[in-house]
Structure 1
């Protein structure tokens, strides 16, 4: 019965969002109340469960999410992102233009949320395509692949960050293993898949696209933007800090070094929240004050970034509330009992549940959070690497984006594609990322 109740709850969520066009956050809270009552959670505990889920999820995410949004906005508003893209295009040359777009999107994608990265990079891709007289989709697919992979696998993005927190995984390990998986996955879903897509839907590569809805784009004179080196350093700083802390921690454990204050300091600096705060302070200087931009203008960019992510934060909190209802309602334990004694890997189970929920719900973050509620009780009975379970959940949550996902419509409209062409490019691209990601995670699990 618990799984039937969850299934009914998911169907109700779909009806509220797609049928009644209700806001996703409001729909999640309504369904959370309904499922909580149906699962038999005592009336006096229902509100407490929802508040615990919402607060617990946002508690360790809001700081990273908010600081990350500000960091990305400063890099964008200063012209740093455009400098990164245009410099890489020049360095790689016309022949290797796809690899330049992949590298630029990967670096910029680490600092920006998926939708923001898409809106920022699409005009740049269109400009490069016009200049070099190549198809916009020829560059658009590698760009979308790199953005989607960073969104699904790499902290400080909300998905992997919140899943790591819920599973109790080391976020530095998630980042390190995420990089190992992300690079081959981007190559497969980007430049390699572009060749396949060209054979599947050749006409789509002749489309001119339409970015009028993005409004007037901010034009930068490259001479007035921050330097390439400092732009890349600023965008990558949180990743550098978290990675260094993780590597030192792994070395300490491997070499069995005694505990020392220096290790605690490094661990503190490498924490996701601390790393993001340090990176933001550096960005305020490198992207603003060092270029004689008044502090008021720099702070205006930060305020603008926060206003843009308010609803996204609430939706993630709503997903956390639904997750907590599943845990407190005993659904997670029910699933754990079902698979007790099973030889099925938690990695495959997490990926499968996240994939089913993603196809049903559309939202990658909500799918991932709901998966946590179902899989978490299982992890106490296994010796699975938690960082890999986080990545498997992330991989499952990006599969087969279709009509219930905003990314599907953004890609379709900007590149001027038909429904069939969007399914054959965007939906297939997301599925390749998900399946290839799982394959590389399973391969990595043999060694870590």
Structure 2
């Protein structure tokens, strides 16, 4: 019954948004309350669940998106995004610019959280698309693919790192095997799939993008000599990467040496938090893209206000999508899926992928899907000689499948690229499914040799 109720809730949500044209935020709120009642959550606990879900989601991504939007707008209005885009076009050429975007997103994605990478790169990719006169989605979809793949498979991202700890896997081998499966997965789900998606939903690639996130990257074109230098522009855009990268290395050193209670390590851990990183990077951008470019404080604050206004509705949608996810978790949808596989005799690698996939589809959270799967699969691994690093990657692959309306990432992508719900299903949901299936296939192939 929980799965049937969830399916009916998803169908109702699609009806409200696609057929009745009700605002996405209101539609998500309506379905969240109705699902809470249908799943048997006590009436006295429904509001608490919805508030917890919204608060948890906005607590993790609200400040990141807010600081990131201002940072992106400062880089765009200061001419940095234009300088970076022109330089990349000069280096790679217009015909290979999509691969340049993929490579850039993949490298940055190793250190950046998915949400951070997206909000940081969108203004730059928008400028590149404008310069070469191609669809924003044509470049944006492969960019999102690279960020999603690194987030799912490569430490130090939370998912693979935490799962490795649960399984007792060697984090170094997870990283090595993760790179091996990530590269072909990015190529297949990124540039190759984008060509197919362009034929499947051409209207999504032909529209003039008017999304709030795209508008952050829209800025008045300058003479190239008036823009800041490439080094200054790139350093400003890459500053979050540098901070998080240094913090990650410091954390690994701390774990290796076993030092605890050290003020220097504590300070770097504080610096490496995504919210802190984006805030410090924003302060740096105020100087590099503002004061040093002879822009007045009034101009800088106008850029900041414009960017925050642009993402206000996005933040509400992300928050209420977290409420829907919380309702499904509290309502026991994940627990019901877990009961189905108790005592299963399937291959541990395939079982880990399958349970994580069903958990993901049922309740939306990739992290919850992965951690729940680990708890279920560990008892079934007794006496098995399965490679633990591959178990981590199989679980990660399953946890990203079929992103849909109960996943915050679905709404992030929809709003960022100005897509309809249908177009998001045909592009993002399909793309995430390809990443998941490719991950499983490459894990199974690797298991033959390692």
TM-score, scaled to structure 1 = 0.71
Is it true that 1:79 corresponds to 2:79 in the alignment? Answer: yes
Query: Using the alignment, how far apart are the partners of 1:62 and 1:408 within structure 2?
Result: 14
1:49-104 Cα deviation digits (max 9, x unpaired): 21122112212221212111111121122221121111122123467554445456
C-alpha separation in 2, matches of 1:444 and 1:238:
33
Structure 1 spans left out of the alignment, 5+ residues: 130-135, 358-366, 413-418
Matched position secondary structure for 1:334: helix
Distance 1:308 1:168 in 2: 38
The aligned residue for residue 50 of structure 1 is 50
Deviation, structure 1 residue 248: 2.4
Partner deviation per Cα, 1:103-146 (whole Å, 9 max, x = no partner): 566689979775996686456435436xxxxxx47x97455312
- CA deviation digits over 1:415-441, x for unaligned, max 9? xxxx99x97x99876654554456567
Alpha-carbon distance in structure 1 between the residues aligned to 2:446 and 2:261:
29
1:236: which partner in 2? 238
Partner of 1:133: none
Over 3 Å counting, the alpha-carbon distance change for 1:279 and 1:93 in structure 2 is same
Question: Superposition pairs for residues 3-42 of structure 1, below 5 Å?
Answer: 3-42=3-42
Contact 1:37 1:43 in 2 (8 A): yes
CA distance in structure 1 between the aligned counterparts of 2:165 and 2:57, rounded to whole angstroms: 14
Q: Given the superposition, is the C-alpha separation of residues 66 and 321 from structure 1 closer, same or farther in structure 2, using an over 3 Å criterion?
A: same
CA–CA distance in structure 2, aligned partners of residues 250 and 116 of structure 1: 25
With 118-127 and 1-10 compared, the bigger mean Cα shift is at: 118-127
Pick closer, same or farther for the CA change 1:275–1:121 going to 2, 3 Å.
Answer: closer
2:209 and 2:95 map into 1 onto residues whose CA distance is: 29
Equivalent of 2:286 in 242, 262, 284: 284
Query: 2:383 maps to which residue?
Result: none
- Measured in 1, the distance between the counterparts of 2:165 and 2:224 equals 41
Residue 132 of structure 1: aligned partner: none
CA gap of 1:121–1:25, structure 2 versus 1, over 3 A, is same
Aligned partner of 2:276 in structure 1 is 274
Give the match for residue 385 of structure 2: none
Of the structure 1 ranges 239-248 and 28-37, higher mean CA displacement relative to structure 2 is found in 239-248
1:409 deviates by: 8.9
Q: 2:226 aligns with which of 221, 224, 227?
A: 224
Trace 1:277-316 onto structure 2 (pairs within 5 A).
Answer: 277-316=279-318
Deviations 1:9-46 (A, max 9, x none): 11111111112111222112211111111122111111
Three-state SS of the structure 2 residue aligned to 1:397 is: coil
Mapping of 1:183-202 within 5 angstroms?
A: 184-190=184-190
Contact residue 334 and residue 359 of structure 2 kept, 8 A: no
Unaligned runs of 5+ in 2: 379-387
Q: How does 1:153-192 map to 2 (within 5 A)?
A: 153-154=150-151, 180=179, 184-190=184-190
In the alignment, the residues of structure 1 paired with residue 220 and residue 75 of structure 2 have an alpha-carbon distance, to the nearest angstrom, of 13
TM score, norm. by length of structure 2: 0.71
